[in-house]
């Protein structure tokens, strides 16, 4: 069983030079981040039968205390559009105590956490249960301050089913298995040797393992670019990306944001199995606009249910488009009210799909909600393998309605792996067939009373 788990996660364990196995008897307090993948089985769980129901849209924090054998695992929104929470057994306590779960060291490199698990989806009654999850936790042989954490296929009292995680049966509309992967750093450790803690660097999106402790590789050390108060790091041009992430002159130019890592990642470090995690993008815009904030993450259920959702995609757990690049979202401000077109140029470190296979989703305000819709192909140009130019203007192919000179604009490039789908400026059909099937399952489960 352990061999199988180790094989499945081998790409994630290559942080050091050697493939690792679990480390028993860990001590100390570690902080880090994880990404959840929720898998479900429509029937009996066996390898190959599972569906990915969703992922976390962002990395979420966790803290492991190996001296007192408890862990605090924070949740986030899932790509299917609702939140999950890891809780204490019985959902007892207040504040962080309510989210703190005990674990046992199985002395074979695995650790079993006994915890509650809840999803906040009112359509299925916000179901929760008590369960357990077994983790393999491995100290990096090259860095004793770092542990790599993966979820083991563990079915207490049963046979492992080939799917990472432990089955939760009869609580959610399907049998589900949460799979957490991530890492954590010893409290107070500073792998860069610059006095800035690894924990703070990860929270700021910096790479604690970067060569010369220089995440953006511009020759200026992170510690210097963070400024006198690393807890309030310098963002000289106030574009929402700190100096330590923006290489060179980009740090002084609010019309150019650089060093924004896709999928809420950390530049230069692939933490998850997603190929583009750790790659970066930059964007530029002309006068009188400037950037004021940038976020990235995994695409969530944000496509317009009345619009383009005839294109099947993975945000609902359907087989279909995969948003490999996730979303990247910009806040912009104009120094004057204008009606001129806004041209935004986006450059991805990763290669973009070729023109004939590129779909570009972008945000549009619909009934006060931000929705991602497929852009009409005449609203943007693919300039080369890495660069897109997008034109936004009032009543244009992509309608721009800047409110008082403030604009939020999110994009998600996607490779069209489905073929033949043509998107025009008009709307597509209704909700996808697979999504309808899933909704039917949810409704049936409620009628049968399988969900409290």
* Residue 250 in the binding site for Ca ion (CB under 5 A): yes
By CB under 5 A, which span of 15-23, 156-164, 199-207, 366-374 interacts with Ca ion?
156-164
186 contacts 29 by C-beta, under 8 angstroms = yes
Q: Does 51 bind Ca ion (CB under 5 A)?
A: no
Place of tokens 């199995």: 273
Nearest in space to 289 (alpha carbons), one of 368, 402, 398: 402
Tokens coding 236 = 């000289």
* Part of the chain binding Ca ion (CB under 5 A), chosen from 95-103, 216-224, 329-337, 345-353: 216-224
Residue 241 interacts with Ca ion (CB under 5 A)?
Answer: yes
Burial (Cβ within 10 Å: 0-12, 13-18, ≥19) of residue 27:
exposed
Torsional sign, CA 15, 17, 21, 25: negative
Q: Least CB distance from residue 56 to Ca ion, whole Å?
A: 19
Q: What's the closest the beta carbon of residue 226 comes to Ca ion, in angstroms?
A: 10
Cβ distance to Ca ion smaller for residue 61 or 218: 218
- Cβ atoms of 201 and 231 within 8 Å: the answer is no
| Single residue of 50, 85, 179, 218 touching Ca ion by CB under 5 A | 218
DSSP track, 101-147: EEEEE-SSSEEEEEEEEEEE-GGGT--EEEEEEEEEEEEETTEEEEE
Segment 195-214, which members bind Ca ion (CB under 5 A)? Answer: 214
Q: How far is the CB of 428 from Ca ion (least distance, A)?
A: 37
- Which x/- pattern over 325-354 shows residues binding Ca ion (rule: CB under 5 A)? ------------------------------
For residue 278, how many C-alpha atoms fall within 13 Å in the half-sphere facing its CB?
A: 12
Shortest distance (Å) from residue 379 CB to Ca ion: 25
**Radius of gyration of the chain, Cα coordinates, nearest whole angstrom:** 23
Q: Which stretch binds Ca ion (CB under 5 A): 95-103, 126-134, 218-226, 326-334?
A: 218-226
Q: How far is the CB of 254 from Ca ion (least distance, A)?
A: 6
Half-sphere exposure of 347 (CA within 13 A, CB side): 9
Query: Are the beta carbons of 142 and 128 closer than 8 angstroms?
Result: no
Number of residues that bind Ca ion (CB under 5 A): 16
Q: Is 264 in the site for Ca ion (CB under 5 A)?
A: no
Kindly indicate which of the ranges 163-171, 293-301, 312-320, 404-412 contains the residues binding Ca ion, using the contact rule CB under 5 A.
163-171
Q: Which stretch binds Ca ion (CB under 5 A): 81-89, 201-209, 232-240, 352-360?
A: 232-240
C-alpha separations of 147 from 66, 85, 89, 237, 242 in Å: 12, 23, 25, 36, 27
Which is closer to Ca ion, CB of 335 or CB of 417?
Answer: 335
**Footprint of Ca ion (CB under 5 A):** 153, 161, 163, 165, 214, 216, 218, 220, 235, 237, 239, 241, 246, 250, 253, 256
């Amino acid at each position: 069983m352990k061999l199988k788990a180790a094989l499945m996660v081998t790409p994630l364990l290559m942080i050091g030079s050697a493939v690792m196995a679990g480390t028993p008897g860990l001590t100390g307090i570690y902080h880090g981040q994880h990404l959840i993948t929720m898998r479900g089985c429509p029937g009996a769980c066996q390898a190959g039968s599972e569906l990915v129901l969703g992922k976390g849209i962002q990395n979420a924090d966790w803290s492991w205390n190996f001296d007192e054998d408890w862990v605090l695992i924070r949740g986030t929104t899932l790509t299917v559009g609702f939140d999950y929470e890891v809780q204490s057994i019985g959902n007892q306590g207040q504040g962080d105590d309510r989210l703190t779960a005990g674990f046992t060291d199985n002395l074979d490199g695995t650790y079993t956490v006994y915890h509650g698990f809840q999803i906040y989806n009112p359509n299925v009654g916000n179901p929760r249960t008590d369960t357990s999850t077994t983790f393999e936790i491995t100290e990096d042989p090259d860095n004793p301050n770092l542990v790599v954490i993966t979820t083991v296929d563990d079915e207490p009292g049963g046979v492992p089913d080939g799917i990472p995680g432990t089955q939760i049966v009869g609580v959610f509309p399907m049998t589900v298995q949460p799979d957490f992967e991530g890492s954590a750093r010893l409290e107070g450790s500073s792998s860069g040797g610059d006095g800035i803690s690894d924990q703070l660097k990860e929270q700021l999106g910096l790479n604690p393992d970067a060569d010369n402790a220089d995440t953006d590789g511009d020759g200026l050390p992170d510690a210097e670019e963070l400024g006198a108060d690393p807890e309030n790091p310098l963002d000289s041009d106030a574009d929402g990306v700190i100096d330590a992430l923006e290489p060179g002159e980009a740090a002084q130019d609010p019309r150019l944001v650089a060093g924004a890592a896709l999928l809420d990642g950390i530049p230069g470090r692939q933490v998850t199995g997603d190929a583009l995690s750790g790659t970066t993008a930059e964007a530029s815009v002309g006068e009188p606009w400037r950037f004021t904030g940038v976020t990235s993450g995994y695409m969530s259920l944000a496509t317009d249910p009345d619009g383009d959702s005839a294109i099947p995609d993975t945000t609902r757990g359907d087989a279909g488009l995969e948003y490999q690049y996730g979303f990247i979202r910009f806040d912009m401000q104009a120094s004057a009210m204008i009606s001129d077109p806004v041209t935004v140029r986006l450059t991805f470190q990763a290669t973009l799909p070729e023109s004939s296979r590129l779909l570009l989703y972008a945000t549009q305000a619909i009934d006060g909600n931000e929705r991602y819709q497929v852009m009409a192909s005449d609203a943007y140009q693919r300039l080369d393998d890495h660069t897109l130019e997008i034109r936004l203007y009032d009543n244009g192919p992509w309608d721009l309605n800047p409110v008082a000179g403030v604009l939020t604009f999110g994009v998600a490039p996607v490779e069209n792996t489905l073929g033949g789908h043509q998107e025009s400026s008009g709307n597509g059909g209704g909700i996808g067939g697979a999504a309808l099937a899933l909704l039917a399952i949810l409704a049936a489960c409620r009628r049968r009373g399988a969900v409290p």
